[in-house]
Amino acid sequence: MSKDKPTSIESAGPRYRVASDVPFYLCLGTIGGVYVLLIVGLLLADVAYVVGSERAPDAVQSQWAKDHPQWAWLADNPIARALAKREIRYSIKLSLASCTVTTILSLWVAVPIGYLLSRHQFPGRNLMDAILDIPIALPPLVIGLSLLILFQFAPRWLREAVVFQIPSVILAQFMVACAFAVRTMRATFDEIDSRREQVALTLGCTRAQAFSRVVLPEAQRGMLTAATLAWARSLGEFGPLLVFAGATRNKTEVLSTTVFLELSIGDLEAAVAVSLIMVLAAVIVLVIARVWGSHHLSI
Amino acid sequence: MISIRGLTVRAGSFQLQDVTLEVPTGGCAALMGKTGSGKTTLLEAVTGLKPIISGTIVLDGVDVTRRKPAERSIGYVPQDGALFAGMSVRDQLAFALTIRRRSRQEIDARVGELAAMLEITDLLNRTTVGLSGGERQRVALGRALAFHPQTLCLDEPLSALDDLTRSQMYRLLLQVRQQTHVTTLHVTHSLAEAHQLADQVYRIENGQVTAAD
């Protein structure tokens, strides 16, 4: 009998049984799960802190609150108390306005740059690509400081109109938000088949018509993702704002600086309440990006 | 008529050298060759989508070598159809005429005519989502023919289709040629397809184009 006689599958089966995949996935799930739990935990802690905080002793109850004591917490809770402050209401308004203007400006810049980088080879393209990453890589404080120094070289009228004024809030937010919008738009255009544009050119389109009639409609979801990303980045911007715009109440104060100012005067409850307002805004933006934005692009 | 003389075009690391070929008006030439041999590059050079190094391209007696793709009167159908996302089939067929600012009546009449010829009338109000491979290619063909081009460039239009759909498309393409008298340059891998549809066959090998026996 030959030594090399093949072993039957039946007899080989038990000896070569494939190990279970459960430990592998358990390991991945544990590592990932810890981080997810940490994120959920810190948000829940904020909510628990606000819900568990005591009522203000000097709170004046409305007639409605007196009639419906079980709902009195709706009118007397840290968020409601924070919203009652004039300077916090101002910072919410300025945040909403500045983030929206920054988002529009970011899209105006990100769409053409993203398209150029995605579709065309030109001298200095790689250098331009690297420069566009600088705002993402630089420490935020350094961006603020650099903006401050840049405006030292600007004419006096321009410096006085921008630095420590509302335009400085928008410019500081724009510097970082736009870099993220550019990356998103570039990835969006990378995913759109350039052959469609080529067909449009043969059908009689100019470059501009092919871009506006074929490429831009396809890029809508990516644009929404870029916009929400820019908006969320702007809302969370703090370092450059503090240096370049300052944190003057009722002037250049936005939500992130409100948290800082409330903490600095020891009002932890108001700081957490404003943080929760920011969390709510971030969640709304995330939902918009997830539901209507591009599913291929991460936010 | 397509007349290409001494065409040299670079594509990545290789180049097509001194390509000369001629297709008579209303005729169909098949371009065959291995993957990466430069068939699509030649088609792109003819359509004006790829810049050439030297040579001339004359279409129906007009030298279009330096003209933009939009000015060459070429209908182009890429391999996957490259239909415009989110647009209805009707809008795809109307696209070239809308760009040319033709009247609504003229556009509607032409779209109806094309849809009937390509047997896609029932698809007119659908978007491209969910169309089969054969339906996509019919729409792409209709979109390319909408502005009455003198030349049609087809880049492996039937390669992704099943046998039954492919044989239906053979019939349709022959019918389109008969009705429109369009001069066609047809890139294909399939010898059977070339023999079915083309009057002449060219092979691309090592950057050279030669007439096949």
- Whether residues B70 and A195 touch (CB distance < 8 A) is answered with no
Give the SS3 label for residue B152.
strand
Mean pLDDT over A6-26 rounds to 71
d(Cα A104, Cα A118) in Å, to the nearest integer?
Answer: 21
Q: Could you tell me the pLDDT band of residue A297, with boundaries at 50, 70 and 90?
A: low
Q: Are residues A185 and A115 in contact, defined by beta-carbon separation less than 8 angstroms?
A: yes
Q: Who among B69, B85, B146 is closest to A201 (CB)?
A: B69
Cβ burial A12-48 (10 Å sphere, 16+ → b, else e): eeeeeeeeeeeeeeeeeeeeeeeeeeeeeeeeeeeee
pLDDT at A299: 46
Q: pLDDT, tens digit, for every residue of A30-88?
A: 999 999 999 999 989 888 887 777 665 555 556 666 677 666 666 677 788 888 889 99
Q: Could you tell me the pLDDT band of residue A153, with boundaries at 50, 70 and 90?
A: very high
Q: Who among A204, A213, A218 is closest to B70 (CB)?
A: A204
Mean pLDDT over B117-139 rounds to 92
pLDDT at A82: 83
Of all residues in chain B, the percent with pLDDT exceeding 90 is: 64
pLDDT reading at B52 higher than 60: yes
For A220, name the nearest residue in chain B, comparing CA atoms only: B86
Mean pLDDT over A203-232 rounds to 94
pLDDT at A2: 46
pLDDT at A65: 64
Q: Could you tell me the pLDDT band of residue A1, with boundaries at 50, 70 and 90?
A: very low
Mean pLDDT over A92-99 rounds to 95
CA distance B99 to chain A (A): 7
Q: Who among A193, A204, A205 is closest to B82 (CB)?
A: A193
pLDDT at A79: 82
CA distance A119 to chain B (A): 14
Mean pLDDT over A269-294 rounds to 86
A113 contact partners, CB below 8 Å, separation of at least 6: A132, A182, A185, A186
d(Cα A86, Cα A81) in Å, to the nearest integer?
Answer: 11
Q: Name the average pLDDT for chain B.
A: 91
- Whether residues B96 and A206 touch (CB distance < 8 A) is answered with no
Mean pLDDT over B125-150 rounds to 93
Contacts of B85 in chain A (CB under 8 A): 196, 217-218
pTM beyond 0.80: the answer is yes
ipTM, interface predicted TM-score of the complex: 0.94
Mean pLDDT over B85-95 rounds to 94
pLDDT at A106: 97
Name the residue with higher pLDDT: B45 or A62: B45
For A221, name the nearest residue in chain B, comparing CA atoms only: B86
Q: Who among A193, A204, A214 is closest to B147 (CB)?
A: A204
pLDDT reading at A99 higher than 90: yes
Sign of CA dihedral B30, B34, B35, B40: negative
Contacts of B69 in chain A (CB under 8 A): 198, 201-202
CA distance B80 to chain A (A): 9
Short-list A135, A125, A128, A143, CA closest to A180: A135
Name the residue with higher pLDDT: B48 or A69: B48
- Whether residues B76 and A202 touch (CB distance < 8 A) is answered with yes
- Whether residues A218 and B85 touch (CB distance < 8 A) is answered with yes
pLDDT at A59: 55
Q: Who among B69, B83, B84 is closest to A202 (CB)?
A: B69
Interface test with B, best of A189, A196, A197, A202 (most B CBs within 10 A): A202
Mean pLDDT over B185-210 rounds to 90
pLDDT reading at B12 higher than 80: no
Contacts of A206 in chain B (CB under 8 A): 70
Q: pLDDT, tens digit, for every residue of A173-198?
A: 999 999 999 999 999 999 999 999 99
